[in-house]
Chains A and B, each alone.
Chain A
Amino acid sequence: MADNIVIIKDLIKKYSDFVAVDGINLEIQAGELFGLLGPNGAGKTTTISIISCLLKPASGDVFVGGYSVKKYPTKAKVLMGVVPQDIALYPTLTALENLNFWGRMYGLSGALLKERVEEALELAGLIERTKERVQNYSGGMKRRLNIAIGILHHPKVLLMDEPTVGIDPQSRNHILETVKRLNRAGTAIIYTSHYMEEVEILCDKVGIIDHGKIIAMGTADELKKLIGDEHAIIVQAENVDDDVIDALNQLRYVDCVNYHEDEIEVLSKHGGRVLSKVVSVLNQADVHINSIDIKEPNLEAVFLHLTGKSLRD
């Protein structure tokens, strides 16, 4: 209990008849990197908003460093850094001006503020463009600055809500490296995402959330054991239509087919056996195949197993 930096107890949040968070209980240890995985609308952002004192829960409570967010929000806020899903920066101010302003909002000043701003700029890889207005930055640079602001005051726990949405692979890698670095330095992190690869690579522990409920929790390996041996066949292809997807779905041993941006994902417990049938269906339909890959069981499959639907639905 003493090692838990965040404790979530029976948390409920409702919007009229819609229950966004439905009785969540969680404990996150100091220095832990916890992943909250779920599709859009599962309740990830609402949970983060309640922890960060932006929304009030209908019932239940969250304790950050022992402080209830309902009773002592200011004390809890000092211990938390938040990287919101939306880029929240002043576009006509420079990176340096943004960092100085937000640092002051966390009570930093003088030499300490200067030191922390430099450290954050270095971490975000923006040291050479500090005096440029943020409106001229690329999406990836803005995301990195968005993160840098969240860590200025060296929080004990960092809440990161989908920090890699809509950016180029290079910036994504930079951000994932940053998350690992911060965690190694001792910061506990709650990382939400609907990209299961990120959560799988980064997180010590993963909670799978759907319809406002945590439906499974454990390490990635523990979770994957829930489904046994589900493999994913990933096909990069062109000229794919709904008939092709239907045909794939009807193949024996195929559990599920997802199609998104020229990428077909076929989930099956018998990867090797299904592969040749998949190729044959695609060839008959005159689909142009660019690449094929078989992946080991992953969290996507776990999610599918638990909910009957894809993370991207």
Chain B
Amino acid sequence: MKKFVRIGLKDILITLRDAPALAILLGMPMIIILILGSALGSLGSDSEMARIDVAIVNLDEGDIGKEIVEGITEGEELEELFDTQVLDDAEEAREGLERGNLAALLVIPEDFSDKINDSKPVKMNVFIDPGKEISASIFQNVVQSIAIRIASASVAVQTAKDVFVESKMVADERDFSRHMDKVVKEITADDALSAVDVLESNIEKERKITELDFYGTGMTIMFLLFGSMFGAFSLVKEREEKTLSRLLITPTSKTSIIGGKMLGIFFVGVVQFLVLFLFTVILGVHWGENLFGVFLLALGVLLAMTGLSVLFSSVAKNVRSVGAIAPLVVIVMALAGGSLFPVSTMPEWLQPIRYLTINGWALDGLSSLMKGAGTNSILPNFGALMAMFFAFFLLGVWRLGYEE
């Protein structure tokens, strides 16, 4: 086995025997996630943040338009998903959409009911915000589903009318319309319910992020970064306890020594991540379907954390200074990067600050994965984490070299 692997394994053994380190790396995050999870978990399912803002402008004076509006605004499942405004002015609604207040807008045209009753072609217009494509497509699907039902009902009504009138089962067309109104009402009311079927498959595409998901992942990332403190401890202790000098007088290259030390820090991080990942999954945290993406981001975070360890060890002269500097940096990154509260709650001008942190890039990627994004969409996040690793590592090595 290569010497650097031996150095890494030795460091894992030392960390596993370090009770305070284990308490901070594993015990603390587990307790915090458990407490936050049980306190906030029950709020998760009805979260406001998942409702999609839509608007309907109903210009139709007939019953069918009215039924569609009621179906969307009063159906229990749809009400939960859409925050629907019913507006009178189509222009005003369009402006709302352009301002980004709405994900989608449905305009039901004038004479909509009359045209359906007369079996004439008719169109409902759905306008969407391209920036909210996924949310908008859910609404679009609902409307489409309603339209299909109306169209098939309309064909059925027309056919029935012809048959009924010809066979004299009804007195005339007016008499038929009176009977059929009831039928049409029921069909359109039913549309809303059947639309829910379409909807549910869409919900999977953009799953809601619950508080448990948020804190489970946020805390895991934050405590992975605490690994950098123990990594720097390990590097500084090796210097303080003179074992580094002793390593340097053995026929072992400097590259093997620094490589082995980093491997040990990384290994400990991998163990920590796997334990916390399993723990949060058992608690019900949803990391998304794309596990490869999750592990890729975790790899990025652990590498960046390893680089940060080297940087800390080069800045801090002894274990005490590491103990002062590292937690400060980790907590500031957690605050700015969205581990402690959602970045969206910060003032808009301050939000980009998260891109200076490991947490920011990691959580941004993880939240995309939770919403069903593919691996390609998190590659920039992984790239940014790798860039941080190289930057921290090279800066640390440069500083260490400068001291010598």
A residues contacting B by CB (< 8 A) are 52-54, 74, 77-78, 80, 82, 84, 86-93, 97, 101-102, 104-107, 149
Contacts and interface: CB of A to CB of B under 8 A. Distances in A.
A77 B250 contact: yes
A186 to B, nearest CB: 21
6 contacts: A54-B248, A54-B249, A93-B14, A97-B10, A101-B10, A105-B6
Contacts of A74: 251, 253
Given A92-B17, A97-B13, 12 more contacts: A54-B248, A54-B249, A77-B251, A82-B249, A84-B242, A89-B241, A90-B14, A93-B10, A101-B10, A102-B246, A105-B3, A106-B251
Contacts of B246: 82, 84, 88, 102, 149
Contacts of B249: 52-54, 77, 80, 82, 84
Interface string B256-267: 000000000000
Nearest to B6: A104
The size bracket of the interface on B is 10 to 19
Contacts of A89: 241, 243
Contact of B252 (A80, A84, A87, A105): A105
B6 A106 contact: no
Nearest to B18: A92
Given A77-B251, A105-B247, A106-B251, A88 B242 contact: yes
Interface string B169-183: 000000000000000
A270 to B, nearest CB: 47
A87 B18 CA distance: 20
B245 interface: yes
Interface string B351-382: 00000000000000000000000000000000
Contacts of B13: 93, 97
Nearest to B252: A105
Nearest to A104: B6
Contacts, number: 58
Interface in B224-280: 241-243, 245-253
A105 B13 CA distance: 17
A265 B386 CA distance: 66
A36 to B, nearest CB: 17
Contact of A107 (B17, B243, B245, B251): B251
Contacts of B241: 88-91
Nearest to A79: B251
A86 B246 CA distance: 10
Given A84-B242, A84-B246, A88-B245, A104 B3 contact: yes
Contacts of B252: 105
Interface in B2-44: 3, 6, 10, 13-14, 17-18
A86 B247 CA distance: 13
Contacts of A82: 246, 249
A106 B3 CA distance: 9
B17 A78 contact: no
